[in-house]
Structure 1
Amino acid sequence: MNLYVLFVSALFAFNSIDCLNILAVMPHMGKSHQLVFEPLFKKLVENGHSLTLITRYPQKKPVPNWTDINISNVEYNSTEIVTFDSLTGTRLDRYLCSKLLASFAYITCEEGLSHPNYLNFLKTDQHFDLVLIETFNTNCFMGVAKKFKVPIIGIHSGEWMPWLHGMFSRTNNPSYVSDHFLGHSDSMSFLERVENTIFFFINQFVYDMFLARQGKQLSKDITGVDLEEDMMKNISLLLINTHFTLNSKLPLSPNSIEIGGIHVINQPINPLPKDLKKFIEEAKHGVIYMSLGSTIRGDSLPEEKKRAFLNAFSRLKQRVVWKWEGEMTGKTPNVLIYRWTPQRDVLCHPNVKAYIGHSGILGVMEAVDCSKPILLLPLFGDQFTNAINIQRNGGGIMLHWNSTNEDAIYDTLQKLLSPKFEKSAKDLSSRFKDRPLAPMETALYWIHYVSRHKGAPFMKTAAVDMPFYQHYLLDVIGFLLVIFLTSFYVIYKSTKCTLKLLCKRPHQKIKKS
């Protein structure tokens, strides 16, 4: 009976939702950003909605009700674009991350906005019911939202960017919310809070003066669309790929919805390629999987570091699958190099025991979903924050890149392969998946909610439109300080005069000798 009621309720809910014509905008050159939301896009079209996607990565096979607007430059490689010689391995990488994102944003905007397919799309007379737009490092594609004048939902594939807080909920109190790039925990020392507070202001300044201003200028110069100052604040809702069991714990506003793990939780696991399956299943003591992601070229790894990993792997009983481009010299017999692997399918194989990764949010969530402990090697961006959060929650151990050597790698892997860490990884995975509603269903519900309620402007907090000094009560603090100091001064002068009168004695003249 209960199943029947649920079925009828679900059928009624589906029939009560009009089929929407949705425009999605995923312009960033990092393919992993789109991979997070492709399952959501596919679920939307499966449910009868139509989707038009502005992308650098069109579908290889046609998908019903799905249209791609391809803005890619076929001569430009959008994956594996960062090499190790561009990273110092020091704190300087964290400080310069905003600059790196600004350069990525310029390429994204200049190439994407000027692409003939995009310009032709802007000239078409189409109707959309909703816009899903990536909120990462630029506002330059907000012209589509201005053109179609429909509710906008932001989608973000990783941790909160420093400037996103001001657009949605203003929850980034630097006393306990670590800057996106610095990688502090939520329990910071005094000096860490000083550094965190300084970067809070610096990153907001960088966004306002460079990223946002650059995006508006490029939009106006290339497409002729003039973006207003507060265009990003017109976004009704943010669907963000985070979850409090893994990421920063924030007091979120109603229009900030966590859907962390939408690309992995309840998604199917596919069979492995035959050679990879054979290598993994014939490993008597299990397998360790290593990948430094789709953005960094693994084969640019310095020879010293490569040798440290190979020497550490040679001391293990386990086999190792290593994502690597090209040939590898000095490879040990227990190592298999693989150009591209179906990463989640590998991680969820029962004979895979641990994961070595760069702490990108996609790989981290895949490993947690598959209950695998992680050796965390953060290199840039949000990876430092991801790594410290996973370590704090018992999902792995972080190694700083400059201190990574053969013994450190081997000793850390021995800890991760222990029964204690195996249980800890399973416990974290259980907490990550334990929700009232799966992330896919959560995202679908709120997309329909925003559409039903015409953008749901009532979900926004007043803090979003407050000036900086009002939100942080600087005017109130200043006013109270003036009142306090004035009162203190009046009391001081009154007390001084009173005491002077009380203590006054008859004045005696002193004769001069």
Structure 2
Amino acid sequence: MKTTMKRATLIGFCVALILSGASAGNVLAIFPHFGYSHFKVALPILTELSQRGHHLTVISYVRHPQAAQLSNYEQLLISDVNEDQSNTTINVVPLTEHTPTRSLKVLLTEYYDLYANGQISCEHFFKSGHVATVLERHKQQPYDVLLTEYFTSDCQLAIAKLLNLPIIGISTCALMPYFYDRIDLPDTPSYVQSEYVGFARPLQWSERLLNFAQAKLLKLIYRLHTNRADNALIKRHLNIDVNVDAVARAQTAFILGNQHYSHMGSRPRTQQFLEVGGVHITSQDEHQLSPRIVQFLEQSKHGVIFISWGSMVRASSIDAEKRDAIIKVLLQQPLDVIWKWESSEQPKPQLDDKKFLFVKWAPQLALLCHQKVRLFWAHAGLLGLTEALHCGKPLLMTPIYGDQFLNAFAAQDRGIGLKLDYQDINVEMLQESLRELSKPSYASRALQLSQVFNQRERTPLETAIWSVEHVMQHGMFAVELLQSPGIELNWFIYHSLDSLAIIFVGLLLLNEGWRALSQHQAQPKRAKSKKPKKS
């Protein structure tokens, strides 16, 4: 009996292994951007796909920290193998680059900066030699899908065109305005804000005007400027003619958006847009506290305020006046302080080490989910903010650039935090903000929102993995079924302007006919001449 059971178990194992091998997909992933926080969103997706038996070829600037432990994960770096990425992918933005307003000039400046960075990433990508590698490998073992980031450029979509691959784009921040049309996602400028803007709701007239301008103008500039530069770069490196905008429209199956309605609010969606906000959050990250931090938390009597302005911003570059104002206020309030501070020197000598703990790198999720942490002072980057939502912690937010203004206002609109602009940091404003945030309503709202954020039909990671495996199984047929007919229409027909024109002309003709009839009826009738009676 035992021998039979062992034999059956072995046969079952072999069958499962064969089926697993048969269903294993071949994924090509391309993430050329240098920012660690961007690649961090994709890491759990790539790791889970690898652990499920799929083969991954990943071209990226940032290294996967566990790549060596994943047997079917191949890492092709476009960065220098010997590059110290602790200096090139994190803490690279000084606070002098903060943008105090959301004017059209600022939006255009940010667009151009992102464009320039995107073109640099594209040059690294094509000069790496990895393009030739994947083109050759595709002949031996075809790839099933291209997984990539939709952010600052589309030069990598030339590979999707050459290999005829369905595309799954990941938006690691709020969706850029130029990607809405790819999946016929309504931008509705009267209330839907993109990555570039950030206003409190409801939008005032001037804010709606700016939102309309950026929604329409930036997508036009992106298509005529960035995409043309992408096409020229592809022509220069591969000697082929490709229209990356047309490729994106024809071959995009899904866009995975790093957002959730509990934070960003309810917005129009299509079948091709999937919310996966918080996909980077893993249970392992919740337990990564060092003994030094644990000891500091345990000795805190009143709780802790955690200050971190993200992986990209170098908080230690803050100017002395603001730094001194912050320290003065923090000394006056009861909470102890854990502060992500990149410099080896403390911001001020002789600060009480029982009150202040400065760390060069903070295990952010583990700290935010710790019961002793009462408040999170963030820059409103989307990863840190979603981690605060997950853990149910109120927020003080100082946006520096990009989508941080949008994220901060969304959280403030939800009643879970306050925005304090960088230029407004002084003793009085900080005291007022902390006093307001000490009200119980902020903590209770944060816990309520956390329950909604975490209670989903599928986890964000399950949603992301389902989308990739669905597209791998059905290929371009899935794209064909998912696509909206609207992307094939020109703007005149899409907005029914032809129908409106016919109706307008019909009303004009009807009006003219009515006027002519009215004028005719208003004319005096001629008196009929009477014939003389015969005698």
- Return the TM-score normalized by structure 2: 0.86
When residues 20 and 489 of structure 1 are mapped into structure 2, their CA distance, relative to the original with a 3 A threshold, is same
Equivalent residues of 1:390, 1:396 under 8 A apart: yes
Q: CA deviation at 1:150?
A: 2.6
The partner residue of 2:196 within 181, 190, 196 is 181
When residues 281 and 422 of structure 1 are mapped into structure 2, their CA distance, relative to the original with a 3 A threshold, is same
1:288 is paired with a residue whose SS is: strand
1:502 has 2:517 as partner: no
Q: CA deviation at 1:68?
A: 0.4
- Where does residue 63 of structure 2 map in the other structure? 58
Equivalent residues of 2:408, 2:419 under 8 A apart: yes
Equivalent residues of 2:201, 2:413 under 8 A apart: no
CA distance in 1, matches of 2:308, 2:211: 30
Equivalent residues of 1:178, 1:186 under 8 A apart: no
The partner residue of 1:330 within 329, 332, 348 is 348
What code does the residue aligned with 2:326 have? F
1:426 has 2:447 as partner: yes
For residues 348-405 of structure 1, what are the alpha-carbon distances to aligned partners after superposition, in whole Å with 9 as ceiling and x for unaligned?
1111111111111100001111111111111211111111111112221112232232
- Where does residue 22 of structure 1 map in the other structure? 27
What code does the residue aligned with 2:364 have? Q
1:232 has 2:254 as partner: no
Q: CA deviation at 1:454?
A: 2.1
1:163 is paired with a residue whose SS is: helix
When residues 504 and 409 of structure 1 are mapped into structure 2, their CA distance, relative to the original with a 3 A threshold, is farther
- Where does residue 8 of structure 1 map in the other structure? none
Matches within 5 A, 1:279-358: 279-326=296-343, 327-330=345-348, 332-333=351-352, 334-358=355-379
What code does the residue aligned with 1:480 have? I
Q: CA deviation at 1:15?
A: 5.7
CA distance in 2, matches of 1:323, 1:203: 35
Matches within 5 A, 1:122-137: 122-124=135-137, 125=139, 126-137=141-152
CA distance in 2, matches of 1:470, 1:248: 30
- Where does residue 96 of structure 2 map in the other structure? 85
When residues 292 and 504 of structure 1 are mapped into structure 2, their CA distance, relative to the original with a 3 A threshold, is farther
Q: CA deviation at 1:51?
A: 1.1
Q: CA deviation at 1:272?
A: 1.0
Equivalent residues of 1:128, 1:150 under 8 A apart: yes
Equivalent residues of 1:178, 1:185 under 8 A apart: no
- Where does residue 7 of structure 2 map in the other structure? none
**Unaligned runs of at least 5 residues, structure 1:** 1-10, 507-513
- Where does residue 39 of structure 1 map in the other structure? 44
Equivalent residues of 1:286, 1:318 under 8 A apart: yes
The partner residue of 2:232 within 205, 217, 223 is 217
Equivalent residues of 1:52, 1:69 under 8 A apart: yes
Equivalent residues of 2:99, 2:400 under 8 A apart: no
Q: CA deviation at 1:186?
A: 5.4
CA distance in 2, matches of 1:402, 1:337: 23
Q: CA deviation at 1:56?
A: 0.9
Equivalent residues of 1:242, 1:260 under 8 A apart: yes
Q: CA deviation at 1:109?
A: 1.1
Greater Cα shift, 251-260 or 396-405: 396-405
How many residue pairs are counted as aligned between the two chains?
A: 494
RMSD: 2.4
Q: CA deviation at 1:237?
A: 1.4
1:470 is paired with a residue whose SS is: helix
For residues 8-30 of structure 1, what are the alpha-carbon distances to aligned partners after superposition, in whole Å with 9 as ceiling and x for unaligned?
xxx99x96981111111111111
- Where does residue 121 of structure 2 map in the other structure? 108
Greater Cα shift, 415-424 or 272-281: 415-424
CA distance in 2, matches of 1:117, 1:283: 51
CA distance in 1, matches of 2:219, 2:493: 16
Equivalent residues of 1:94, 1:380 under 8 A apart: no
When residues 328 and 474 of structure 1 are mapped into structure 2, their CA distance, relative to the original with a 3 A threshold, is farther
When residues 444 and 121 of structure 1 are mapped into structure 2, their CA distance, relative to the original with a 3 A threshold, is closer
Greater Cα shift, 182-191 or 41-50: 182-191
CA distance in 2, matches of 1:349, 1:28: 32
- Return the TM-score normalized by structure 1: 0.90
Q: CA deviation at 1:475?
A: 3.0
Q: CA deviation at 1:90?
A: 2.5
- Where does residue 383 of structure 1 map in the other structure? 404
The partner residue of 2:382 within 361, 365, 377 is 361
Q: CA deviation at 1:441?
A: 1.4
Q: CA deviation at 1:248?
A: 4.3
1:245 is paired with a residue whose SS is: helix
Matches within 5 A, 1:439-478: 439-455=460-476, 456=478, 457-478=480-501
Amino-acid identity (%): 28
What code does the residue aligned with 1:376 have? M
Equivalent residues of 2:259, 2:277 under 8 A apart: yes
1:141 has 2:156 as partner: yes
CA distance in 2, matches of 1:321, 1:118: 44
When residues 505 and 396 of structure 1 are mapped into structure 2, their CA distance, relative to the original with a 3 A threshold, is farther
What code does the residue aligned with 1:53 have? V
Greater Cα shift, 199-208 or 217-226: 217-226
When residues 402 and 452 of structure 1 are mapped into structure 2, their CA distance, relative to the original with a 3 A threshold, is same
What code does the residue aligned with 1:160 have? L
Greater Cα shift, 184-193 or 61-70: 184-193
- Greater share of residues in helix: 2
